[in-house]
A and B are shown apart, each in its own frame.
Chain A
């Protein structure tokens, strides 16, 4: 589906200097600074896969997305999507992809959503029959029936995002790029969007590339993540594997009968949360969780035990720190 090999891109940003002399010089010849956006980025994506593309701001995420959607031409490297090079066969390529930029709308602001859809149908030259089928299905799944006659400007952000999703799927693309699709949405809308993407991937088999800062999106949608930092791919693999490798910390929270004294355990950090409640931070690389629980149940009369893994955010922060980005 997607084969990206050794993709590199450097921007030349005009150097901004102060002073009158420099400004006049700039009129004649502009000095530029080379900024390396991505370097030697390679990855493959199989049909029907869902991939989370994550990294801090300015890491090169949007550069990669722009190259893959044919907006930008890389300096070197190859990119083949559905057998085509995006920037060489732009028109043919973009027919097969859908793009949602979470921060920008593709709908016409002042007219009902339906009109935008109709215009998109003409832009993508979708045959009437299949358009009707797709539109009906999308309307049903995304619950758009009431929204279609409303002008976009009076939609809420969550409603608008649902319409955006539908708008970029009207031509039934095989590949969907979602750039921060849940940004700014409330909890309910986020759930609805995630639910929809999951169904789309499962039922239509659409390949989805998702960039986001919300790790819950990743957790809810995909197992495979691509982590990019400073223009390099730092990690490519499953979320599970990432957990196994880096996520060794568990917290064990215990409720016990008041009056008892919780034991101090070797290699385990303990913090009291109040009378009858204590939390242990266990690094499973050193001590086994089962051993800790066994010790505790031996020494205390336990009322409740909960074992929590780290939130994914913390994991990613650790990864960032490890790679110094």
Chain B
């Protein structure tokens, strides 16, 4: 990213943020929906835990924290969270206007998606976290294990969003080829949702599945920071996780830019 462009990216970021903050009622509605989901998931797991023997790799209170964090930062983790305007731009060919701007389109869109996710979470996370802390056991969200865990949580959470945005950039890039976002969005979204532990928390997965999921980048956005918070992952492992995040982020962004350039060249050749 060249320095002169930073201002452009920043103001694009700000406009997005302000736009999304406008929809307060929608945010309130989303809040209630997520509370409901969180409760439901914990209740279901609670029912399962009632028959459990001792061999469960994660305690119910830890799991409750894990789920509340998932709900609070849903917008950070969910891959199906999308920008219909951008899809419209690609499918209608209006992307040409974006190409006229003196900015790197990959970063420009990356920042735009990032802003959407941050503004989406900014409204939702605080009330969810607050209320969830006040709930009775076993539904309560527990505070992080210690300050170091909390700081590492923040760090990995932020890197996690970057990874997630980089992954979703591939959905947009793919749309240049398929011209219809529906299929790829749903398939990548669903696979990603499952592999990031949104449907079944990763600690509860059977060994073989966990081995697969741990190799994929999807868990780095949510599962990793949430488990750091709940103390399920130790300091040592957390730092390794952070390094893995950085490696993945670098790789995803590198290949993202590469394929973006390829796809754009093709689009221009076809006359858009």
Contact = CB atoms under 8 A, between A and B. Distances in A.
A24 B28 CA distance: 11
A253 B28 CA distance: 70
Contacts, number: 5
A24 B24 CA distance: 9
A35 interface: no
Interface in A22-71: 23-24, 27
A23 B22 CA distance: 9
B25 interface: yes
Nearest to A18: B22
Contacts of A24: 24
Contacts of A23: 24
A27 B27 CA distance: 13
Contacts of B28: 27
Interface residues of A, number: 3
Interface string A4-23: 00000000000000000001
A15 to B, nearest CB: 16
Interface string B219-263: 000000000000000000000000000000000000000000000
A23 B28 CA distance: 13
Interface in B14-28: 24-25, 28
A23 B123 CA distance: 15
Nearest to B28: A27
A24 B25 CA distance: 9
Contacts of B25: 27
Nearest to B22: A23
A27 B24 CA distance: 9
Nearest to B21: A20
A27 B29 CA distance: 12
Interface string B6-43: 00000000000000000011001000000000000000
Nearest to B24: A23
B122 to A, nearest CB: 14
Nearest to A23: B24
Nearest to B25: A27
A232 to B, nearest CB: 37
A20 to B, nearest CB: 8
A23 B23 CA distance: 10
Interface of A: 23-24, 27
5 contacts: A23-B24, A24-B24, A27-B24, A27-B25, A27-B28
Interface of B: 24-25, 28
